[in-house]
Amino acid sequence: MNDTVDINYDELTLQRALQEVLADPERRWTCTNGDVIQIVAMGISDPSGGPDFRDTAILHDGVVHIGDTEVHIRASDWKTHGHDGDRRYASLLLHVVVVDDLPRRVARWTLVPPADLISRSVQRLHNFRPRKPLPVDELQHHALLRLLRSTVRAGSLISRLGSLGAITAMCDDWVDRLHRKRRRPLADGSLDELRRTLPSSTLAQLITILPSTAVEDVIHAIEEAERHRIATEGLAVRREVFVNCILPVLCSRADDRHRIPLLQWYWSARAVHTYGHLRRRFPGLSQDYVWQQQGMLEFLRETSPPRTVCADIIRTYGLERTLDFLRSNDHRADNGDVHMSGSG
């Protein structure tokens, strides 16, 4: 595939372009062996040698696989670059190439994205110079960090208040934040009504029905629950409540099997509205998906103070340990700190 494509870019440019091309976690890609995969996160760019991306997360047949990704213009560059026998490539999960001219496989999956998608992304890289660029992998780190942080908070509240009490407390926090803003999506009275009725809402009942819901039906159950109003709010506010108040509790309570579709929803759910202040702050970034908005919000949260912890937690522990954290049913927060297993 792509044998006759006109390639006018180098490998570094290709890596940057692929971060955009492959950034849509909802898209399904067919690999050269016929397997259909979804790239949940490209992982961490590693310019120091070894695979181009560490801790790539790939969803295949309902299982999230974690490994490394190598990018080449031609698959045969694998041999040209001397990767054969290099132990740094032992965990290679994905080989992304423009021209597949190597007869044998060097990774579990080989992916040849359409050349026109790559060319358009390369052209955008040439034409666009963001005021303050935020790389796609950094945005993904912040999106996952935001969900991780709120899940820790939910776990702590559950241990003291129970699941519905945790939802109420997280809703109180969310409403209090809205009260401090000059512009609010609802009048104060409507916000208070929403806070009172949330525990008995269809969305909140997801806590009760999730354990008995088939894994393949979890996303559909969320979509159905979002159709029912909590009080008098519209869909945009209802989505805010779900992401900020209910999803973290679901993630904290879910077992390993049910947590995967919750993460899949987080990476694939389309946004139902845009944030004006994010559009002004990040004019070159899309707000098509929930995770993109959550990543930008977390970036602003971490960079507003003089000191930033940013995605250092995820960089230190890797995406695999972060996902392991989210799979831990009994994980709790101590004094608001995030603790993960293993040496730091």
Structural contact between residues 78 and 59, judged by C-beta atoms closer than 8 angstroms: no
Q: How far is 301 from 310, CA to CA, in rounded Å?
A: 9
104 or 127, higher pLDDT: 104
- Please give the mean pLDDT across all residues of the chain: 80
Q: Report the 10 Å Cβ neighbour count for 309.
A: 11
Q: Which residues contact 47 (CB under 8 A, 6 or more apart)?
A: none
pLDDT range class, residue 183, cuts 50, 70, 90 = low
Asked if pLDDT for residue 307 goes beyond 70, the answer is no
End-to-end CA distance of the chain: 43
The predicted pLDDT at position 205 comes to 94
pLDDT range class, residue 48, cuts 50, 70, 90 = low
Q: What angle do CA 115, 116, 122 make, to 5 degrees?
A: 90
pLDDT range class, residue 133, cuts 50, 70, 90 = low
Q: How far is 21 from 57, CA to CA, in rounded Å?
A: 15
Q: What is the mean pLDDT of residues 119-129?
A: 76
Q: Report the 10 Å Cβ neighbour count for 79.
A: 13
Q: Specify whether the backbone of 189 is left (phi greater than 0), alpha (psi in -120 to 50) or beta.
A: alpha
Give 136-173 pLDDT, tens digit per residue: 778 888 898 889 888 988 988 899 999 999 999 998 88
Structure tokens at 69: 């990704």
122 or 241, higher pLDDT: 241
Give 164-178 pLDDT, tens digit per residue: 999 999 988 887 777
pLDDT range class, residue 191, cuts 50, 70, 90 = confident
Asked if pLDDT for residue 334 goes beyond 50, the answer is no
The predicted pLDDT at position 47 comes to 61
What are phi and psi for residue 106, nearest 5 degrees? -115, -5
Asked if pLDDT for residue 2 goes beyond 70, the answer is no
pTM of this structure:
0.58
Asked if pLDDT for residue 314 goes beyond 60, the answer is no
pLDDT range class, residue 343, cuts 50, 70, 90 = very low
Q: How far is 50 from 69, CA to CA, in rounded Å?
A: 10
The predicted pLDDT at position 242 comes to 96
The predicted pLDDT at position 99 comes to 92
291 or 40, higher pLDDT: 291
Structural contact between residues 111 and 95, judged by C-beta atoms closer than 8 angstroms: yes
